[in-house]
C-alpha cells in the first residue's frame, strides 16, 4: 500500500503498549529512524532498543518532535495529549496505529468491525467463517494483534484482514479504507475520553468515511445516516440466518446477523457461514464458563467493560449473582440496575472505585448489594450465598484499571479464584 519513498525519514511513536511497539518495529524494519516515547518509566524497552529504536521513557518533552516527519499515536494516547497537540501545531502529521498498519499492508482488503459491544466476538466469528470457507484470513486490531504487526509477517496477498476497531483507533485515520465495514451498536462508553456521546459516535463512524459506491456498510436496522458512499445493508437480531449460532443470548444472535451480512458481502457462501455459526463457541472473557461447583455455575464476562455489555450478559442467564464494578468511565448505571431488577438478579457483589455509584443505582431498583471491595471477596461471598441452579456472573460494567492491568488479567484472576474454590 505504501511505497518506500512515501515513508517518513523520522517518526515519533507515542505510547509503547502492544500497538505502539508493533508500529515502531514495523517502521524501523523499513529503514525509518524511530523515536519511541512513553510516560511510563517502568516499561521494558529492550526489544525496541535491540531493533534500533531510540526509546525515551518518562518523557513528553515537545523537543521529541524536533526533526520528526510523522507522529504515530497508540490507541491509549488521547488526541489532546500535549505531544499530539504540539505535533498538530507544528503541522506534523498524526496517524493512529491502524492508519499506519493500513498503509503498510500490501493491498489486502480490510473488513472493519466497530461498535460499543460485541466487536471481539464478531471479529473472531468472521475469522472462523472465512476459515470454514477455505479463504485466507488474518484477524487483527483491537482484538489483541496490532494491525502493524502484520507488516512484519508473510501475509497472503489474497487474505482479507478482519480488523476490530475501537473509537480510540479510529480517532486519527485519514486514508484507512475497509471495503466492508460493520457498526454493531453505539451506546455511551469512554465518555471520560471523548467527553460526549456525539464525539464518541463520530469517532466510530469514521470507519465508513472513505468507503465508495462499490463498498458495503453493515448497520443496525434503522440506524441513521453515516459518512461515505457505500451500499447500505442493515441487520437485526431477528434476521433469518443460515444456521442458529452456538453462542447464548439475543445479543450474540445480533452479532451473528452482522457477521453473516458482512461475510456475504465478502463473497462467502451460506454453507460456510452456517458451519461457523454452529461451531463457534465464543472468545475468552466473554460469557466464558469457567467452572461449576455444587450446582452453581461461574461465568467470566470480564470483557463487559461498560453497562450496556453487562445488561446484555444478564439477559443470557436466570438466577444471577452479579459481580460488578471497577474503574470509572463516566457512564451511568441506572439502566443496568433496572435490567438487573427486571431479570430478577439475586444480588450484586460490588468491587472497585465505582462500587458506591453502583450501590446507589441498584438500591434505587431494590436489588440487594454486598460491598465486597475486591474480586476475591466478591467470589467468596457470591459463592457462599449461591444455591444450586444459580449463576455467579462476573460482568463488571466498568474498566479494570483501578485493580488490574486490563480486563484479561481481571478475567484470569476470576478463573483462578473459581478454580481454587
Would you please indicate which residues are annotated as catalytic (active-site) residues? 119, 142, 190
DSSP assignment of 292-336, as one string? Answer: EETTEEEEE-TT--SHHHHHHHHTT-SSEEEEE--B--S---HHH
The set of cell numbers assigned to 67 is 526533526
User: Which residues make beta-bridge pairs with 241?
Assistant: none
Burial of 151 (0-12, 13-18, 19+ CB in 10 A): buried
How far are the Cα atoms of 12, 35, 278, 377 from residue 63, in angstroms, in the given order? 11, 12, 55, 48
Neighbours of 167 (CB within 10 A): 25
Long-range pairs, 133-136, Cβ under 8 A, ≥24: 133/268, 133/269, 133/272, 134/272, 135/159, 135/160, 135/268, 136/160
Q: Which of 417, 175, 148 is nearest to 298 (CA)?
A: 417
The set of cell numbers assigned to 78 is 488521547
Give the N- to C-terminal CA distance of the chain in Å, as an integer.
53
Q: Which of 303, 406, 308, 325 is nearest to 370 (CA)?
A: 325
Neighbours of 342 (CB within 10 A): 12
- The Cα 65–Cα 56 span in angstroms is 12
Pairing type for strands 110-114 and 137-141 reads unpaired
- Identify the residue whose cell numbers are 516515547: 37
- The Cα 83–Cα 250 span in angstroms is 43
Amino acid at each position: 500500500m505504501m511505497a518506500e519513498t512515501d515513508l517518513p525519514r523520522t517518526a515519533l511513536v507515542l505510547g509503547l503498549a502492544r500497538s505502539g511497539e508493533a508500529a515502531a518495529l514495523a517502521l524501523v524494519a523499513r529503514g525509518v529512524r524511530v523515536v519511541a516515547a512513553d510516560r511510563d518509566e517502568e516499561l521494558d524497552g529492550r526489544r525496541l532498543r535491540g531493533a534500533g529504536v531510540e526509546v525515551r521513557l518518562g518523557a513528553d518533552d515537545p523537543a521529541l518532535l524536533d526533526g520528526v516527519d510523522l507522529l504515530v499515536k497508540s490507541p491509549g494516547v488521547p488526541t489532546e495529549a500535549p505531544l499530539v497537540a504540539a505535533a498538530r501545531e507544528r503541522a506534523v502529521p498524526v496517524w493512529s496505529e491502524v492508519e499506519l498498519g493500513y498503509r503498510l499492508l500490501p493491498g489486502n482488503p480490510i473488513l472493519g468491525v466497530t461498535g460499543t459491544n460485541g466487536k471481539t466476538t464478531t471479529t473472531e466469528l468472521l475469522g472462523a467463517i472465512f476459515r470454514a470457507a477455505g479463504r485466507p484470513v488474518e484477524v487483527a486490531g483491537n482484538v489483541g494483534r496490532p494491525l502493524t504487526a502484520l507488516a512484519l509477517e508473510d501475509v497472503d496477498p489474497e487474505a482479507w484482514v478482519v480488523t476490530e476497531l475501537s473509537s480510540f483507533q479510529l480517532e486519527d485515520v485519514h486514508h484507512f479504507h475497509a471495503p466492508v465495514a460493520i457498526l454493531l451498536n453505539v451506546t455511551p462508553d469512554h465518555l471520560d475520553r471523548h467527553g460526549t456521546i456525539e464525539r464518541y459516535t463520530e469517532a466510530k463512524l469514521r470507519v465508513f468515511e472513505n468507503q465508495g459506491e462499490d463498498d458495503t456498510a453493515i448497520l443496525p436496522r434503522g440506524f441513521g445516516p453515516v459518512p461515505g458512499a457505500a451500499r447500505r445493508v442493515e441487520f437485526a437480531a431477528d434476521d433469518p440466518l443460515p444456521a442458529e449460532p452456538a453462542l447464548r443470548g439475543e445479543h450474540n444472535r445480533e452479532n451473528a446477523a452482522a457477521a453473516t451480512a458482512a461475510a456475504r458481502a465478502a463473497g462467502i457462501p451460506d454453507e460456510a457461514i452456517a458451519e461457523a455459526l454452529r461451531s463457534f463457541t465464543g472468545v475468552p472473557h466473554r460469557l466464558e464458563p469457567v467452572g461449576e461447583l455444587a450446582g452453581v455455575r461461574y461465568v467470566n464476562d470480564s470483557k463487559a467493560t461498560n453497562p450496556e455489555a453487562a445488561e446484555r450478559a444478564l439477559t443470557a442467564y436466570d438466577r444471577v449473582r452479579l459481580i460488578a464494578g471497577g474503574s470509572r468511565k463516566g457512564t451511568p448505571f441506572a439502566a443496568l440496575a433496572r435490567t438487573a431488577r427486571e431479570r430478577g438478579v439475586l444480588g450484586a457483589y460490588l468491587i472497585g472505585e465505582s462500587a458506591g455509584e453502583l450501590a446507589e443505582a441498584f438500591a434505587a431498583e431494590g436489588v440487594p448489594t454486598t460491598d465486597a471491595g475486591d474480586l476475591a471477596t466478591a467470589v467468596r461471598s457470591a459463592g457462599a450465598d449461591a444455591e444450586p441452579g444459580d449463576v455467579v456472573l462476573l460482568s463488571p460494567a466498568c474498566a479494570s484499571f483501578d485493580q488490574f492491568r486490563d480486563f484479561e488479567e481481571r478475567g484470569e484472576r476470576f478463573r483462578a479464584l473459581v478454580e481454587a474454590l
